[in-house]
Amino acid sequence: MSKSVFEELQELTTEARNPATMRLDSMSVREILEAMNAQDRSVPEAVARAIPDIERAVDLIVPALQNGGRLIYVGAGTSGRLGVLDAAECPPTFGTEPWQVQGFIAGGLGALVRAVEGAEDDAEQAVRDLDLCSLCESDVVCGITASRRTPYVISSLQYARERGCGTVFIICNIPSGENDFADVIVSVPVGPEALTGSTRLKAGTATKLVLNMLTTASMVRLGKCYENLMVDLRSNSEKLKARTRRILMDLTSCDYDWADALIKDANGELKTALVMHWKNVGAERARELLDHHGGVIRKVIEG
């Protein structure tokens, strides 16, 4: 390790010792759990303070997705796994295409289940990875790192800027003067971890909360929900098929058999089925109305 890296780490709050857990190794199991829980309570408050910047990030992501662009997460270790997880959950939840929200992790797919040591330091591999998806100006690249200094992530963001992409940088420390290469910096300084340096704890929790907010808020703005119900989910499992019918029944007060028949007429598309019911039209006309109103059910109803 170079002296400069050593000095960098010294400045990070996520690498500092937590005065509240100095006796961690001599605590009882109950005391360990209570100490961790006490530390975790501060995470939502830190995220709340970052909401203005999270809002700016959503305002960058929504038009990108509307115009055929992509949201691409890039991270290493826990941060990378959380990005890949969030991307993987968008198609079943919001009916997005797999290419619309993607996740890259340092070390490749194998790093999802087994740590690949040193992959986070490979700045050149970050460029090679992003070259695989042919970045364009309509994309938004979101770098995720608790520390603010991970070379793989920083290289990804710098390359994305060169390609004209929008950029978001999620960190769990205070930004430094060297972090001005992103359009939006979402800083969630959670402070020292209960176990020093283990950023899968508070920093990981904060990251998951922020990613939940980014994609959920973006998808709501894109018309992927009606009221607070998912209406663009894909019915690819028995659970999701049941959820689709339950949502249709909740919104229309119909019985199960009627809902089942309508969903089948709509080829499993909940949005289409709802418009068919409320506008008293066939499936093809329902899809035309949705396309005309950008896929937003409320605009179809009120239009």
Tell me: pLDDT of 148 over 60: yes
CATH among 1.10.8.1080, 3.50.50.60, 3.30.43.10, 3.40.47.10 for 225-302: 1.10.8.1080
SS3 (DSSP) at 230: strand
Q: Is 117 a catalytic residue?
A: no
Q: Domain ranges for the chain, please list them.
A: 7-221, 225-302
Out of 11, 15, 55, 89, the active site residue is 89
Query: What CATH architecture applies to the domain 7-221?
Result: 3-Layer(aba) Sandwich (3.40)
* CA gap 213, 95 in Å, rounded: 17
Q: What is the pTM of this model?
A: 0.92
Other beta carbons within 10 angstroms of residue 159's beta carbon come to 21
Percent of the chain with pLDDT over 70: 96
pLDDT confidence of residue 22: 97
SS3 (DSSP) at 287: helix
* CA gap 79, 90 in Å, rounded: 17
Percent of the chain with pLDDT over 90: 87
Tell me: pLDDT of 113 over 70: yes
* CA gap 276, 261 in Å, rounded: 12
Name which of 246, 247, 241, 206 is nearest 224 in CA terms.
Answer: 247
pLDDT confidence of residue 1: 46
pLDDT confidence of residue 5: 62
Over the chain, what is the mean pLDDT? 93
Other beta carbons within 10 angstroms of residue 17's beta carbon come to 11
For residue 227, is it left (φ>0), alpha (ψ between -120 and 50) or beta?
left
Mean pLDDT of 242-262: 94
pLDDT confidence of residue 6: 58
Name which of 67, 65, 66, 70 is nearest 83 in CA terms.
Answer: 70
* CA gap 143, 134 in Å, rounded: 17
- Band (pLDDT 50/70/90 cuts) for residue 183 is very high
Out of 11, 55, 120, 178, the active site residue is 120
